[in-house]
Each structure stands twice: as C-alpha cells, then as structure tokens.
Chains A and B, each alone.
Chain A
Amino acid sequence: DAGITQSPRHKVTETGTPVTLRCHQTENHRYMYWYRQDPGHGLRLIHYSYGVKDTDKGEVSDGYSVSRSKTEDFLLTLESATSSQTSVYFCAISERSGGIGTEAFFGQGTRLTVV
C-alpha cells in the first residue's frame, strides 16, 4: 500500500468549531488532493496542491482552506464547521509524467460528523 495516512479517522465536532484534518504521505509525491464523498454526489474535489505552498480550489472549496508547508503534509481546515460539512473526507496523492497525471493513491478516509 502507498504510504498515505489520514488523521483522525473519525471525528465528531460541534457546529461553529474549527476542524483540521491531516494527510501525511511518505511517497514524496508532488500532487495532493482533498475530496469529500457524499451519497448521490460521488467524490467532489475540495482543494488540491501541486507543490509546497502551491494550492488551488476545487469544485466545493467554500468553507474550507488548506495548507502545505512540507511535501509530506497537506492539511484541510474547516474554518467554522457546519452540518453540511458532515461527510467522509479522502486524501489522495499522485504524480505527473510528461505533464500528464498518473494513478492516484488514496488514504482510508476521515469520517467527520458535525452536530
């Protein structure tokens, strides 16, 4: 298995509190992604990173921020959690060859419940 770890694996938090999810990789991959998965919506891209301190927004970025200060860590922060952010969050890593993406490796997911 690719060396990618998400923490925590489960979290229950209250509405209005900030929450940070961590993705840690040992593969030295340049590209890292945060997705959320909800029934009926599949995987939706929140933010992604294409290098240290280089990030961009995905399809559903409102209410989320990210940071990548080291190659191995990509943090996702819910600035003020809302019930609509209850979801399963997945981190993924990948590389590019000749400018074209290669296969992505996924973490095991973080189940976040906002009450």
Chain B
Amino acid sequence: SQQGEEDPQALSIQEGENATMNCSYKTSINNLQWYRQNSGRGLVHLILIRSNEREKHSGRLRVTLDTSKKSSSLLITASRAADTASYFCATDAPNSGYALNFGKGTSLLVTP
C-alpha cells in the first residue's frame, strides 16, 4: 500500500510566501525523499533525508524528519511562480524489499 500521505492535498499561496507540505508514513524507513512534478512531466528528485537525520537544507528547501511521529515536512521559502507543481514524498523502507513508495502528492499553486 502507499506508504506516504501528503497534507494538504492542495495549497495556494502568493509569490514570496513560504509553502509547507507535510508527509506522514506508516512503517519504519531507511530514508524519505521529496520529488517535484511539473504538469505533464516526469518527477524530479529534490532532496533525500536519511532516517538518522532530523533536518536537511538545499537552497530554498528545508526538510525535517520526525521518526517518532513518522512524519516529514518540506518547506519552500520565498516561493516563486516557477515553484508551481505537485510535490510527492517517497519512502524507502527496510521491510518493503526494494520498493520506493509514493504518496498522493500536494498540488502547490504560487500566484504572482
């Protein structure tokens, strides 16, 4: 079954604002990854956080991981219209063979 579940399903903000998306998962993980998908395109990897890490940064992206709550958040600071996309979390779990399981995604709209 799908491991990750993103929240909210949709988010609309204005340029310059911060966007926060959350991901909850069900079982223990090796790592959690965030991906972006622009309309009609394939997914692009954004950031990977390992189970022994609590926070990771990449440019305007900040990811946190709380394994006790089985949750992660993705923060995009100073959003731009070009950040408009769907964002997915994916989990690599030790008891799921080699599968990489995705959630249903958060649709982010950034308006000028």
Q: A22 interface residue, CB < 8 Å from B?
A: no
On whether the beta carbons of A101 and B30 are closer than 8 Å, the reply is: yes
Choose one: A42, A103, A109; the contact of B33 (CB below 8 Å): A103
Give the distance in Å from the alpha carbon of A90 to the alpha carbon of B45 in the complex: 14
Query: Would you call the interface of chain A mostly helix, strand, loop, or mixed?
Result: strand
Choose one: B35, B43, B100; the contact of A101 (CB below 8 Å): B100
Closest A-B pairs by Cβ, 3 of them: A42-B104, A106-B42, A101-B92
What would 27 A/B residue contacts be, using CB atoms closer than 8 Å?
Answer: A31-B98, A42-B102, A42-B104, A43-B105, A48-B98, A48-B100, A56-B97, A56-B98, A58-B99, A59-B101, A90-B43, A92-B43, A92-B100, A99-B30, A100-B30, A100-B50, A101-B30, A101-B98, A102-B48, A103-B33, A104-B35, A104-B45, A104-B100, A105-B45, A106-B42, A106-B44, A108-B41
A11-19, A33-41, A66-74, A77-85: which lies at the interface: A33-41
- Given known A42-B2, A103-B33, contact A50–B98 (CB-CB < 8 A): yes
Residues of chain A with a CB closer than 8 A to B105's CB:
42-43
Residues of B that sit less than 8 Å from A by CB: 1-2, 30-31, 33, 35, 40-45, 48, 50, 88, 90, 92, 97-105
